[in-house]
Structure 1
Amino acid sequence: MDYEIFDLGDVTLQSGVTLPGAFLAYKTYGTLNEKKDNVIVYPTAFGDTHVQNEWLIGNGMALDPQKYFIIVPNLLGNGLSSSPTNTPPPFDRAHFPQVTIYDNVQFQHRLVTEKFGIHKIALVVGWSMGGIQSFQWGASYPDMVERIAPFAGVAKTWPQTYLVLDGMKAALMAAVRFDSSKLNQLTSADMRAVGRVYAGWGLSDAFYREELYRELGFDSLAGFMAGVWEDSFMKMDPHNVLAMLWTGQNADISANPAYNGDFDKALKSIKALACVMPGSTDLFCKADDNEYEAKRIPNAVFSPIKSIWGHFAGRGINRADNKFIDDNLKHLLELGTKA
């Protein structure tokens, strides 16, 4: 096991449900300094674990473990932190309770403060649903977080984002004829259709038109669909996926007692220096939505990743995109914080 477990105990979720024996899986990189001020929090995205975040961590990179103490907490529902697949009855599989982004960040805050005694965070960074968590950190703990850098992630689930996630959910619901009482019959084989639904959204139309999948070793579109989208989604458990889809569809940094749904107020409350990096051709975490958000964050820079890799411009695959993200993070970390 290449990660650690932080026991949360019995937690009351935003929904009011108590999840007994909850826990966060996390991995750290580097060493916490004596002042405890060299901290970077890097939450995981939908379907990812800490391993998928490691492309952005390395000597000489912005997230340099020789300089920073980097904490990668795993999203609830991803199979490592408390999830449908590792929670005993009565909260197993389809009975797993609804978990919000707000819940996730509250639990991560407990990890950071209770386990490590940290009270200042230099940067919270994340891709996709990791990006939403970085916005939430900034809104929930404005005096603690000095910088945020969401890439290909929005501060709430805008209508387009919601519809794409709903299409993925519908592919699973169709497998049980939309009968929620039969959800426990779902298997990983039912994830094949979810991968196909997502294929049209994860990358841009230009990516497919220019056949960039050939750079990844596939000589046909059909081969790419089967070898990447079907294969990667069939490795996921459908109940974990449904849990994470619910989290994603209901994400909104203002959906909590601090802001009572006032989205603009939540954005304006973020004190952190922010570098907001959408993928310029992202089809469902839209650059326009990120631009709206960045304009309302007092100390934000809007810096699109000019790429035809769509949402996956932030996935650590394309070298030029990776360098753009890393360069922006280096610049952000060099900036002094606002007084």
Structure 2
Amino acid sequence: MNYEVFEFGSVTFQSGETLPNAFLAFKTYGTLNQDKSNVVVYPTAFGDTHENNEWLIGKGMALDPEKYFIIVPNLLGNGLSSSPSNTPPPLDRVNFPQVTIYDNVELQYRLVTEKFGIKKIALVVGWSMGGIQSFQWGASYPDMVERIAPFDGAAKTWPHTYVVLDGMKAALTAAVNFDSSKLNQLTSENMRAVGRVYAGWGLSQAFYREGLYRELKYDSLEDFVVGVWENSFMKMDPHNVLAMLWTGQFADISANPTYNENFDEALKSITALACIMPGSTDLFCTADDNEYEARLIPNAAFKPIESIWGHFAGRGINSDDNKFIDDNLKHLLASGTNG
């Protein structure tokens, strides 16, 4: 096992549901310095584990383990942290509690404070649903978080993004004719259709038009859709996916007692230096949504990733996109903080 587990005991989520023996799986990179000032929190995205974040961590990079202590907490529902697939009955599979982004960040806060005694975080960074978590950190703990850098992720799930995620959910639940009483019958084989649906959203029209899948060693469009989209989704547990889809659909940094769904107020309350990096051709976490959010965050820089890789401009695949993200993180980390 190449990660650690932090156990919380019984946890009650925003939904009011209680999960006994809740836990977060996490991995750390680097060493915590004496005054605990070199902390980076880098949450995982939908369906990802800590290993999927490692492309952005390395010697000479912004997230250099020789300089920073990098904590990568795994999203609840991803199969490593508490999830439908690893929770014993009666809360397994479809009976797993509904979990919010806020719930995730609350447990991450407990991890960094209770296990490591950390009081300041130099940076919270993340891609996609990891990006939403970085916004949430900034809104929930403005006095603790010095910088945030969400890329290809919004501060809430805007209506169009909700519809995209709902389409993925429908592709899965169609396998049991949308009968909620039969959802426990779903298998990973039923994830094939979800991969096909997401294939049209994860990358841009220009990516497909220019046949960039050939750069990934796929000779044809069909081979690419099967080899990347079908196969990656069929490796996921369908009940974990339903849980993460719910988390994604109802993500909103203001949906908590602090802000009472006043989204603009939540954005204005983020005092961290912010570098917000949407993909210029992202089809469902759009640059327009991020631009609105950046205008309301007092210390935000809006830095679109000019790329035809769509949502996957932040996935660590294309070297030009990777360099853009890393360069902006270096600049952000070199910048002084506000207070």
TM-score tier, shorter chain, comes to: over 0.9
Find the counterpart in structure 1 of residue 178 from structure 2. Answer: 178
Aligned mates of 2:161, 2:91 — CA distance in 1: 28
Aligned mates of 1:164, 1:203 — CA distance in 2: 13
Aligned mates of 1:257, 1:263 — CA distance in 2: 12
Kindly state the Cα deviation for residue 338 of structure 1 after the two structures are TM-superposed. 1.1
- Which runs of at least 4 in structure 1 moved beyond 2 Å after TM superposition? none
Query: Could you give the per-residue CA deviations for residues 199-227 of structure 1, whole angstroms, max 9, x where no partner exists?
Result: 00000000000000000000100000000
Aligned mates of 1:18, 1:225 — CA distance in 2: 39
Find the counterpart in structure 2 of residue 228 from structure 1. Answer: 228
Q: Which amino acid aligns with 1:20?
A: P
Kindly state the Cα deviation for residue 256 of structure 1 after the two structures are TM-superposed. 0.0
Find the counterpart in structure 1 of residue 295 from structure 2. Answer: 295
Aligned mates of 2:338, 2:29 — CA distance in 1: 27
The answer to whether residue 117 in structure 2 is matched with residue 117 in structure 1 is yes
Kindly state the Cα deviation for residue 103 of structure 1 after the two structures are TM-superposed. 0.1
Alignment of 1:178-327 (within 5 A): 178-327=178-327
Aligned mates of 1:8, 1:251 — CA distance in 2: 23
Find the counterpart in structure 1 of residue 85 from structure 2. Answer: 85
Aligned mates of 1:32, 1:100 — CA distance in 2: 29
Alignment of 1:121-200 (within 5 A): 121-200=121-200
3-state SS in 1 of match to 2:25: strand
Aligned mates of 2:8, 2:132 — CA distance in 1: 22
Aligned mates of 1:9, 1:207 — CA distance in 2: 46
Find the counterpart in structure 2 of residue 334 from structure 1. Answer: 334
Query: Could you give the per-residue CA deviations for residues 6-26 of structure 1, whole angstroms, max 9, x where no partner exists?
Result: 001100100011110000000
Kindly state the Cα deviation for residue 160 of structure 1 after the two structures are TM-superposed. 1.1
Structure 1, unmatched stretches of 5+, are: none
Kindly state the Cα deviation for residue 67 of structure 1 after the two structures are TM-superposed. 0.2
Find the counterpart in structure 2 of residue 64 from structure 1. Answer: 64
Kindly state the Cα deviation for residue 107 of structure 1 after the two structures are TM-superposed. 0.1
The answer to whether residue 48 in structure 2 is matched with residue 48 in structure 1 is yes
Aligned mates of 2:242, 2:188 — CA distance in 1: 12
Aligned mates of 1:35, 1:232 — CA distance in 2: 41
Aligned mates of 1:61, 1:53 — CA distance in 2: 13
Aligned mates of 2:214, 2:113 — CA distance in 1: 46
The answer to whether residue 4 in structure 2 is matched with residue 4 in structure 1 is yes
Q: Which amino acid aligns with 1:68?
A: Y
Structure 2, unmatched stretches of 5+, are: none
Find the counterpart in structure 2 of residue 104 from structure 1. Answer: 104
3-state SS in 2 of match to 1:9: strand
Query: Could you give the per-residue CA deviations for residues 297-336 of structure 1, whole angstroms, max 9, x where no partner exists?
Result: 0000000000000000000000000000000000000000
Kindly state the Cα deviation for residue 271 of structure 1 after the two structures are TM-superposed. 0.5
Query: Could you give the per-residue CA deviations for residues 231-268 of structure 1, whole angstroms, max 9, x where no partner exists?
Result: 00000000000000000000000000000000000000
Q: Which amino acid aligns with 1:235?
A: K
Task: Compute the RMSD of aligned alpha carbons.
Answer: 0.3
TM superposition score normalised by structure 2:
1.00
Query: Could you give the per-residue CA deviations for residues 277-312 of structure 1, whole angstroms, max 9, x where no partner exists?
Result: 000000000100000000000000000000000000
Query: Could you give the per-residue CA deviations for residues 78-112 of structure 1, whole angstroms, max 9, x where no partner exists?
Result: 00000000001111011111000000000000000
Aligned mates of 1:237, 1:322 — CA distance in 2: 29
Alignment identity in percent? 82
Aligned mates of 1:150, 1:122 — CA distance in 2: 14
Aligned mates of 1:235, 1:19 — CA distance in 2: 25
3-state SS in 2 of match to 1:166: helix
3-state SS in 2 of match to 1:130: helix
Q: Which amino acid aligns with 2:152?
A: A
